[in-house]
Chains A and B, each alone.
Chain A
Amino acid sequence: MTAIRRVLFNLFAWTVVLAVAFPLFWMIVTSVKPQSELFRRPPTFLPETVTFEHYWTLLTRTGFLDYFRNSVILSVATTLTVVAIATLGAYSLVRFRYRGRESLAFLVLFTYLLPSVVLIIPLYLMLVTLGVSNTIFSLVIAYTTFALPYALWLLRSFMAGIPEDLESAALVDGASRMGAFRDIILPQLLPGIISTALFTFILSWNEYLYALVLVNSDAARPLTTGVMSMLISAFNIEWSLLMAASVMMSVPLIVAFAFLQSYLTSGFGAGGVKG
């Protein structure tokens, strides 16, 4: 009886894994098939000949690297901005007492009540007025507006988990407020900061809608919209190039996850305070 249940459970689990993994597998396979094999019927599951010509084409004959650079700059800048503001903001929301503190915390979530389509037009007009439209900087501002509230809430709960006594102890031991923040709070907050940074990075790396509306020049286009406009036209979709581009777009995220996963799971701050 238990054996049957185990088999059934395993079967179910593997079905789910396959359903999730197959598109990724197909993406990789398609990207290394030669053009001739691409639309063959019946399809070949493992490519008969492996070729990296699509990757080469993408890197040398298209604007892929420019878009990639834009995306890196954009995501890193957004992540740094969001984490810096959210860390200080969360600190203020948790440690200082002032009127409307709770309401303020809820108010920032209001952004999520409105669909982004509603926010895009006013945001676009504002950015035009500021004279920064069509730049990476404008996207950094736009992404910050929707990543910041979530980051703030995430960090707020991490921050609330740090005992106030630790900071008081640092103050008594001779630290200034900023000193205590740097020496004590930041190291304790590291897992929170890393998960927030990862979340923000993924959000801005994959964002499409704002990038489509706010940026209209190749110099500032990130990967998402860049690859679309480059490889998909009304008449033709360059499948193998598109898949190669997708693989290369996924790599930074996979690398980031692989390195930071241990940080996310380790109980870094546990055990400092008894009680």
Chain B
Amino acid sequence: MADVEFRKVRKAWGAVVAVDDLDLAIEAGEFVSLLGPSGCGKTTTLRMLAGLDFPSAGEILIGGRRVNDLPPAQRDIAMVFQSYALYPHMTVAENIAYPLKKRGVPRGERGPRVAKVAEMLQLGPLLDRRPRQLSGGQQQRVALGRALVRDPRVFLLDEPLSNLDAKLRGHMRAELVELHRRLGRTMVYVTHDQLEAMTMSDRIAILEGGRLQQFAPPQAVYAAPANRFVAGFIGTPSMNLIDGELAAGPAGPEFRAPGLALAVGPLAAGTQPGPACLGLRPEHLSFGTGPLAGTVQLVEETGHEAIIAVTLGEGGPRLVGRSPAGLALRVGGQVRLALNGPAAHLFAPGPTGRRLNAPSPSGAVAAAAAGDQP
């Protein structure tokens, strides 16, 4: 049974629709990320789950219980805020003990439980300090401690790492994964950072414009994006997206754009020739040899590899690829390159055009596609 469930949830502020027609079922013990650009509705979704905002329509269930009209206190949740929201006039110990106090845990029991959480998060020496005397990372841990001190059914995390510096963020990411493994609780994590979502989640829900674009495990989101938005959003550098035309070629369907003709794999049933969009990950371009010629626009050496931007032919599409370091390329020079046609993705036209590829026989993508509908 799903632990957290959204059924046709909609949230509108006047004429502005923040979340529309959201269906989402999160299994017990799952770590789910809500990922999307600013203003995609991910924070609104989380706040509705927390009971801080109320849906305009639809149902939200936690543990099979409809919670639409329940105040946050009665939902058995804990939340970590982006700003941490520590109570400035309370010490660290008082901050962590506050949820216990509000739920009527006797004073004598609070001390040991706070101590246990403090030990887990290495907050012991800080218990008597006030939040303003702590560093960002310490404040973050206190916020986490306040969520952990109770044993709630669902943890909600609203971009908890976004105020930390890059190194600490990497560290806390690993800590959170470890914490989730140890607690085995359902966690819903809001982020705009795809690296966080990809590395931590069991499944990722990608939102855009208040609508769910795809809900699948990270590798499926990467290998078989459900539509053009997901394809362009996930991956760094992002997927090459080329607008062109789908036509019947001599040996099966073919994608055509200026300076480019590529045979593409089997397509979904009912796909018609016409305008389409080709998506190709940078790692599916290979440089040095190949049937195509391009002009080098930009070479970015990152150390272990190079990110190379080329334009195909005269005024053709611009493509970005990765190549092992050491390939001697000059900006403005010519380079031969090949595209990995079977790995290409095809999408219907439009910003969220749906995926046109037939489910691939290759293992990874097949598993990924299966993960799409659990």
Q: Which residues of A contact B (CB under 8 A)?
A: 163, 165-166, 168-176, 179, 183-184, 187-188, 268-275
Contacts and interface: CB of A to CB of B under 8 A. Distances in A.
A183 B52 CA distance: 18
7 contacts: A170-B87, A172-B156, A173-B102, A175-B73, A269-B88, A273-B86, A275-B83
Contact of A173 (B83, B84, B146): B146
A184 to B, nearest CB: 6
B88 A169 contact: no
Interface string B153-180: 0001000000100000000000000000
B294 interface: no
B102 A272 contact: no
A163 B89 contact: no
B132 A272 contact: yes
B99 interface: yes
B18 interface: no
A57 B133 CA distance: 56
Given A172-B50, A172-B52, A174-B73, A273 B98 contact: no
A174 B50 CA distance: 11
Contacts of B86: 272-273
A213 B88 CA distance: 47
Contacts of B47: 168
Nearest to A177: B71
Contacts of B132: 270-272
Interface in B108-131: 130-131
B163 A172 contact: no
A177 to B, nearest CB: 8
Interface residues of B, number: 32
Given A166-B87, A170-B102, A171-B71, 20 more contacts: A165-B82, A165-B83, A165-B85, A168-B47, A168-B85, A169-B87, A171-B51, A171-B73, A172-B52, A172-B78, A174-B102, A175-B102, A183-B98, A188-B88, A270-B132, A271-B88, A271-B132, A272-B88, A272-B131, A273-B84
A165 B158 CA distance: 11
A274 B139 contact: yes
5 shortest interchain CB distances as A-B pairs:
A271-B132, A272-B88, A174-B102, A169-B85, A165-B85
B221 to A, nearest CB: 29
A28 B52 CA distance: 59
A184 B163 contact: no
A130 to B, nearest CB: 40
A273 B139 CA distance: 9
B231 interface: no
A243 to B, nearest CB: 44
Contacts of B341: none
B99 A168 contact: no
Contact of B77 (A172, A175, A183, A273): A172
Given A163-B83, A165-B83, A188-B89, A172 B131 contact: no
A165 B131 CA distance: 15
A184 B101 CA distance: 14
B136 interface: yes
Contacts of B130: 271
Contacts of A187: 89
Contacts of A271: 88, 130-133
B88 A274 contact: no
Nearest to A187: B89
A102 to B, nearest CB: 16
B84 A274 contact: yes
Interface in B61-103: 71-73, 77-79, 81-89, 98-99, 102-103
A184 B163 CA distance: 23
B102 A179 contact: yes
Given A173-B99, A174-B99, A268 B83 contact: no
